[in-house]
Each structure stands twice: as structure tokens, then as C-alpha cells.
Amino acid sequence: MVEKQFVAKNFKITYQGVFSIHDFYDMISKWAHDNRFHLEIKDQYEHNLPEGKELLYSVELYRHVNVQIVAMVRLHARMKEVRDVSVASGHRKHRMQTGKVYIEVDGLVERHKLYAWENKPYIFFFRAWMDRFVHKNLFEGHFGEVSSATRSFYDAVKSLFQKEETKLIA
């Protein structure tokens, strides 16, 4: 069994304008590699509609902290009315996309229960009592690490879309 607890949730970004999907995908994989997270694509689809493409990209970035605890950062990106455009900067033309982007970033800690006796009701009671009155759970010791990783990832995604705005002005 798995016990999940959200540490950081509902970090949202909405953007409407010009962006590059390839830069977005590359930024996610580069951030995961730099911060030693594994990348797992959960959902990815593309629908062609008369008003433009609709894209969904859902990713889980995870890192094993120890045998029982997994730190996870989840991203859900939905892009609507996406059309291809070419943007000239200097002497070059860049192929980019324009549309509406909605992004949600969540961070959570997952604890794997390795033994059957961990699911017994008296163990739940004893753990709750120890966590409340004696000391903080070892499970909660990694909340700060996961929330800072989530915030770092959110800031990286946000800066990517702010960079796209400044590209158009220059």
C-alpha cells in the first residue's frame, strides 16, 4: 500500500501568447536531470480542432529519498487553440506556437508500506499518537525538500513563459 500526502499544491500558471512547445519539453527534462529526478510521462495527447490544436501533457518527476519514501513533483499542462507561427528575431525565423496555456504543479510525498503489519489499526493509532505527542514523523522530515523542489520547478516553468514574452519585445 501507498500513503500519499500533498506538500505543495495548486501552483498555477496561465499564459496566452507565443511559446515554444519544444523548449517547454526540453526545459522539463533538463530540470529533472539537473535536480536528479526521474521523468515519467503519464499522459500526452494532441487533438486537431478547427480553432487550433488542443494538447495535454502530464508528467510525474520522482526521486527515491530512501527505501520507503518517494518525493514527487507533478505537472499538468493543457494548451488550447494552439497554432504554429514563425517569429523573426534578428536574421532568423523561429517556428513557435501561439495559444492559451494552463499549467498546474503539485508536490507530494509518497510512503510505501513494505510490511503487512503496517496496515493494522493499532499501528495507525500508535503512529498517530507518537507523531502528535512525542516527535515528528520521519515521513514529514522530507516535506521541506519536496516543497522547495516544487517551488523551484514552478519558478523554472514560470520563467520560461516570461522569457517568451521578452523575446517578442526585443
Is residue 114 over pLDDT 80? no
pLDDT digits (tens, 9 = 90+) for 17-68: 888 888 899 999 999 999 999 999 999 999 999 998 999 999 999 999 888 8
pLDDT digits (tens, 9 = 90+) for 65-88: 888 888 999 999 999 998 888 887
Contact present, 107 and 9 (Cβ < 8 Å)? yes
- Kindly state the average pLDDT of the residues 87-116: 83
How many whole angstroms separate alpha carbon 121 and alpha carbon 30?
43
Question: For the purposes of burial, counting CB atoms within 10 Å of the CB of 2, is it exposed (0-12), middle (13-18) or buried (19 or more)?
Answer: exposed
Q: What is the pTM of this model?
A: 0.79
Secondary structure of residue 137 in the 3-state scheme: coil
pLDDT digits (tens, 9 = 90+) for 125-154: 777 777 777 776 656 777 888 888 889 899
pLDDT, position 170: 43
How many whole angstroms separate alpha carbon 69 and alpha carbon 74?
16
